[in-house]
Amino acid sequence: MKRLAQLCLGWLAVVMLHASVHAAAPQIDALEPPHWWIGFSESRLQLLVYGPGIAKARVSLAGPGWRLERVERTDSANHLFLHLVISASATPGPRELIVTRDGVQRRQPYLLKAREPGSAKRRGFDGRDVILNLMPDRFANGNTSNDNVPGMGDPADRSAPGGRHGGDLQGVIDRLDYLSAMGFTAIWMTPVLENRQTAYSYHGYAATDLYRVDPRLGTLDDYKRLAAEARRRGLGIIQDAVPNHIGDGHRWLRDPPSRDWIHPAPPQAPLTHHARTSIRDGYAVQGDRDRFTRGWFAPSMPDLNTSNRLLAQYLEQATVWWIEEVGLMGLRVDTWSYSDAGFLSRWAARLRREYPRLGIVGEEWSLNPVVVAAWQGGNPLFGKPLGRAAQSPADTTRPTVPSLMDFPLHDTLRRALVEPESWGTGWVRLYEFMVNDRLYADASKLVLFDGNHDVPRLAPALNHDPALQKMALAYLLTTRRIPQLYYGVEVMLDSPKTHDAFDLFRADFPGGWPGDPVDAVSGKGLSAAQADLQQWLRRLMIWRKSQAAIHRGELTHFFPEDGSYVFVRHLPGAAPVLVAFNKADQARALGMRRFRSAVSLPTHGTDVTTGEALDLRSELLLPPNGVRIIEFGKGSR
């Protein structure tokens, strides 16, 4: 019997040895981040290893300058989290992860790179900039070979408003000279990450891989080349970040790294009700706040649980990775307030530690200035309860984002321009609205826009009136904000006026496709009104680049009278700029004494948009339905 047992054990040992010799090495389907850098202020790095059964593996590191602090396993058999520390003395170069399972080893290459010189000190966007918002799929098709990519689905169909139209990164590269010549200094593109969705993938807000450029837009190398070519022309790239949700084509929906990685899906839980005020409302119940932040944005957009610390660090690192890899100027953050408030504060603070001047603007789509102002870092009113109401949980979190999209002023400007003048409408509405700037930590850091991919275009909103469009753009480019324009505004691109025709707000840029009858770049096919506005806007934006008073000066405005509204931008040591609007059908003569009583102004100036020299010793003559932007530069008396 003993001899039989020995034979059985021997046979079992041979079988096990044979199995170990022929067992496959551990499979790794994703390692994220795919590489990293030395020299960050944060020395810790979290690596997510994804592969079948990888949670059973043991891991060690090979190479100097980094160490494995700990391995963390969740309830997922296919995910493993490695917590590493990178030494301050580490040098760039290749390293290896040694992953072992069932006695079989896999040596996984990993690269630690050197940061670009001056990376941490990069300039973000501010009052010196004019940002262009464009949708790559709708801007220009520079590479027709990537219109349809095997395995991606959602084929290109330019005739379908909600389909892919074939625009790509190469199309943007091809038009950088035009954008630079127009006077833009920054480009915010809607998301360029992979959206492997079965349909409606062109907008980019349903990412299915947070480390991959959508191949129908191009490659990572194309993206890096775009950023480099843009910088060479004085343009920065602003990436659209979406920490709140992903697309339902993402592998995480089928195989999440942990059970609580994604908030419960409908119908187990309702979609978000978009109640943005609930986060700051001391009277709101927690259930309403939870539905806002935990409900899915849409049935195809799973809501990420950003209170999960492993996911929070994953998202922080993914954002840093894109900034460093591509050389970004800043970030526009989609659906800002829908994520966990504590996460948002830590996420923005981490980015600002690594890049102190990085531009970050959050999308808080509320027309209530109190709701928007509460998110801006340094807000002196932040955290104060309303009467006897209890503070909301968000009020215990210090805001750290420097800028928000100024939806309240955007809406007010549009209303003011089309309303009749009265004691509560028109210019008076705009004048009185500006008192809300007291709510902000720094209103000059807000981004004010003529339009974007989610709202009706400026031309239909202003009844297709070229004069009103010039007034709107003049206000945007001279008031105390960071201006952002929507692609095609310079040639009056049209759209429906209704607020739910999203696909039609995103018309193709004229001339971006071979055979287009109109080309905004060359001017072919433009109407006289389109060409006039384009030329007028180009001159204004080029002039703006050198105006310190516009970039960082104070604003003094005067109560509207008889359809006119005037403000002055002024800064010690810089030439002041006076901006005067007239919505009346008749010319207006405004006495200069009123303006000089508040701001020191020379007696002579130049109309920026016409080049006309003006004698302003006694009065300012405004043309009917027009705007004057007057520079008091060198030689002014």
Q: Active-site residues: which are they?
A: 334, 363
CA distance 580 to 569: 11
List Cβ neighbours of 614 (8 Å cut-off, separation of 6 or more).
Answer: 604, 605, 606, 607, 620, 628, 630
Give which of 625, 553, 545, 546 is closest to 585, Cα–Cα.
625
Helix axes 466-478, 407-418, angle to 10 degrees: 150
Give the span between the Cα atoms of 323 and 213, in whole angstroms.
14
Q: How far apart are CA 371 and CA 368, in angstroms?
A: 6
Residue pair 141/167 in contact by the 8 Å Cβ criterion: yes
Residues contacting 453, CB < 8 A, separation 6+: 133, 135, 190, 203, 486, 502, 505, 506
b vs e for 276-287, b when ≥16 Cβ sit within 10 Å of the residue's Cβ?
bbbbbbeebeee
Q: Provide the residue count of the chain.
A: 637
Residue 129's φ and ψ, nearest 5 degrees, are -100, 155
What distance in Å separates the CA atoms of residue 509 and residue 493, rounded to the nearest whole number? 8
- Contact predicate 261/308, CB 8 Å: yes
Q: In 3D, which of 379, 332, 331 has the Cα closest to residue 358?
A: 331
* Secondary structure (DSSP) of 198-248: SS--TT--S-SEEEEE-TTT--HHHHHHHHHHHHHTT-EEEEEE--SB--T
DSSP string, 109-159: EEEEEPPPTTGGG-----TT--EEEE-HHHH--S-GGGSS-TTT-S-B-TT
Query: What b/e string do you get for 293-314 counting C-beta neighbours within 10 Å, with b at 16 or more?
Result: bbbbbbebbbbbbbbbebbbbb
Angle formed by the axes of helices 466-478 and 528-544, nearest 10°? 10
Residue 443 is given by DSSP the state: G
- Give dist(CA 100, CA 536) in Å, integer: 66
Task: With CA atoms as reference, report the closest residue to 71 among 98, 102, 90, 105.
Answer: 98
At 366, is the secondary structure helix, strand, or coil? coil
- List CB contacts of 125: < 8 A, sequence separation 6 or more: 131, 185, 186, 236, 238, 329, 330, 359, 361, 482
Cβ 188 vs Cβ 238: under 8 Å: yes
DSSP 502: G
